Amino acid sequence: MSVQNNYPGVVRDVLRRYEFIGDHISLRSDIFEIIALVQVGRGVDVNKDGYISYRTNEEFLVDSEAKGRIVYERSVPVARFEED
């Protein structure tokens, strides 16, 4: 994610995204299922402002997309001691 001299705006955007998905996240388990949609495409500077916005359909043209799923198990590191 490019900051483009707008760090506070980027932080607000990230927080807004987390608030949107906050009801769908559970932290009660050590096993998580992560589902993501990945889009491959190309950027076009339509409005000639020098920046390519991947968030708009006008400036980011999707060539293909795929849905991915991964199961992630969070584990707590075990304290290991060397014995003589």
Q: What is the pLDDT of residues 23-62, one digit of tens each?
A: 776 667 778 888 998 889 999 998 888 888 878 888 888 8
Tokens 């705006």 belong to which residue?
Answer: 9
User: b/e string for 52-81 if b means 16 or more Cβ within 10 A?
Assistant: ebeeeeebbeeeeeeeeeeeeeeeeeeeee
**pLDDT tier at 80, thresholds 50, 70, 90:** low
pLDDT in the model for residue 16: 84
